[in-house]
Amino acid sequence: MATETLPLYNKKDFQTDQEIRWCPGCGDYAILSAVQSVFADLGIPKEKFAIISGIGCSSRFPYYMNTFGFHTIHGRAPAVATGLKLTRPDLDVWVVTGDGDSLSIGGNHTIHMLRRNVGLKVLMFNNRIYGLTKGQYSPTSEVGKKAKSTPFGSVDRPFNPLSLAIGAEATFVARSVDVFQAHLKDTLKRAAAHQGAAYVEILQNCNIFNDGAWMNLTERDARSEHVIQLEHGKPLVFGKNRDKGIRRKGLELEVVTLGDGVTENDLVVHDETNPNPAYAFLLSRMDGHEDFPTPFGVLRSVDAPRYEDLVNAQIREVQERRGRGDLAKLLRAGDTWEVKA
């Protein structure tokens, strides 16, 4: 039996000749570069990739990836991608979307895609603003956000995208940042390896309409105090001097300072494979509230049956039992009527 030879690619193999139409300095460039590099390392033929996007700055992505792709309509990328994955489960289907596209008009599609555990890889670019339509507040904008559509400040409570994904019981949930290239690439590889629905929030800067949205997390001097890197099997430690940690306090979490009798043995040991989504949900709720750091990395990675496998198995079982069926006969079955002029 011949052994299949895996393709050897480099980053340029996934670049196109299309002019990249993002604003200079946009964080999307860094994400595009990371995705092209990671795709080259996956050992998957280019013709097996499909990039599905909705509407927004991030949704230009299919034009810049030398793969199959489909630029769909606002908020509907999960629905189109689900249909593709059902009919072609052999394809590696990636959904590229933004905070407005996926959490506003596309919110319903997003939660059902995740709860069904469709084998898609979802990259959600979060810049906390509507960039393509020139600066309106979005579902992730902070309370009090002054924008073109909220000149006196937003009064909406924003979505926490990771909490939403975990609430829908997504089987893989992670977060990274456009400028943390090494971390982003590692996170993308983890998502690519996951067999079910993989949801990755990527914090991304819009230097035109919401510059510095994540500065408290990305600036070198602030990063160590405001960010915690999640590593499976390791205690939750953070801080410039690695002297702070996360400990359980009843049903809640609390920040503690190591020393004076508090050791790493008292801290929560990160378990991304915990089948109970409540643990990952607690992590997602830290997000810089009070003295808590914002978690980066994989919050949750569990196994569950994939939607496309279950649906196709059901179809095969019914076909074996009842035959392939006749579409014309089906359309003329049941209640029918004739319309006469």
Q: CA–CA separation, 293 vs 305, rounded Å?
A: 33
pLDDT tens for 60-95 read: 999 999 999 999 999 999 999 999 999 999 999 999
Which pLDDT does position 222 carry in this prediction?
A: 79
Closest CA to 43 of 70, 4, 7: 7
228 Cβ contact partners less than 8 Å away, ≥ 6 residues apart: 236, 237, 238, 246, 286, 293, 294, 295, 296
Rg (CA), the chain: 22
136 Cβ contact partners less than 8 Å away, ≥ 6 residues apart: 129, 130, 147, 148, 149, 150
Q: Measured in whole angstroms, how far is the alpha carbon of residue 268 from the centre of its chain?
A: 25
pLDDT tens for 11-50 read: 999 999 999 999 999 999 999 999 999 999 999 999 999 9
Q: What is the pTM of this model?
A: 0.94
Q: CA–CA separation, 178 vs 30, rounded Å?
A: 6
Which pLDDT does position 58 carry in this prediction?
A: 95
Q: Where are the domains of the chain?
A: 11-234+294-307
Please list the alpha-helical segments (H only) found in the chain: 28-41, 61-64, 77-87, 99-100, 107-116, 161-167, 181-193, 215-218, 220-226, 277-284, 307-322, 327-331
Closest CA to 143 of 152, 153, 151, 133: 153
Closest CA to 287 of 162, 188, 176, 174: 162
- Can you say whether residue 43 is alpha, beta or left, with left for phi > 0 and alpha for psi between -120 and 50 degrees? left
Domain 11-234+294-307 has CATH 3.40.50.970: yes
Q: CA–CA separation, 155 vs 146, rounded Å?
A: 10
Residue with tokens 């902070």: 142
Closest CA to 92 of 107, 103, 81: 81
Own/partner contacts of 146-154, CB < 8 Å, gap of 24 or more, are: 147/209
* Ranges of residues in the chain whose predicted pLDDT is under 70: 1-4
